[in-house]
Amino acid sequence: MDRRTGSWHSPSLQREMHVATWGSRGKPLLLFPTAGGDFLECERFLMIRVLTELIEAGRIRVYACGSVSGEGWLDKEAPPWHKSWIQARFDDYLVRELFPHIERETGRRDLVATGASLGAYNAITAATKHPDWFDLAIGMSGTYEFDRWMGNHRDENYYFNQPNYFLPGLSDPRALAQLRGVRFVLASGQGRAEAPDESVRLAKLLESKGVTVDLQIWGPDAHHDWPTWRTMLPMFLSKLVP
């Protein structure tokens, strides 16, 4: 499987940001890394291998990016305001730079957003904030609730980058119509290190806005780990991507 890589200096993040691509046609799929993972994490952990059939059949074209979670949400030394600030800059990078880059290469705005763990948070947040870019979002073993990392600090950057906060107040008819055009799959196991209740609560919140949600809670043998995600993602994509 040929892999192409590229990078540019991001004005939003003031650093070099890398992107890897597999495939040359098909529905563009943006894959976010877990926790502090980088843009090639998905290849190292064999996710690309299990997606090879879909890529070679021309059904999907995979884009993998980095994230800022390691110096934001997961950095125990970072003050809460920095955690939400750097996430807001990452959102700017997505909207102003990465999404347009994918559109230029593919001519499409019907992206799939996906990821596991904190990658699920990034995927679901991107699709709920910017539904005009997506028609499918798949969150696996998602970590969606961050108050434990923020103490009592709340600010605008946190509010608008935390679906559990901004979705309840979403009432604009046009924004709701766009959001209802996205299909969401929220999947979690009940095994080691999983937090299925977070997926359940987010699914209920999305459903309260009239959004189509497929909530899948797998059993105690489905752990918060790559074997689970390598089983989930090709299965979901095979069913949902023509």
- Domains in the chain, ordered, with CATH? 3-240 (3.40.50.1820)
Query: For residues 169 and 172, what is the distance between their CA atoms, to the nearest angstrom?
Result: 9
Tens digit of pLDDT for each residue in 5-35? Answer: 999 999 999 999 999 999 999 999 999 999 9
DSSP state string for 167-226: TTT---HHHHHHHTTSEEEEEE-SSTT--HHHHHHHHHHHHHTT-EEEEEE--TT--SSH
pLDDT at 233 over 80: yes
pLDDT at 199 over 80: yes
Looking at residue 36, what is its pLDDT? 83
Mean pLDDT, to the nearest integer, of 212-224?
98
pLDDT at 1 over 80: no
Closest CA to 97 of 181, 14, 2, 36: 14
DSSP H or E segment with residue 28 = strand 27-32
- Chain-centre distance of CA 227, in angstroms? 18
- Of the chain, the end-to-end C-alpha distance in Å amounts to 21
Question: What percentage of the chain has pLDDT greater than the value 90?
Answer: 98
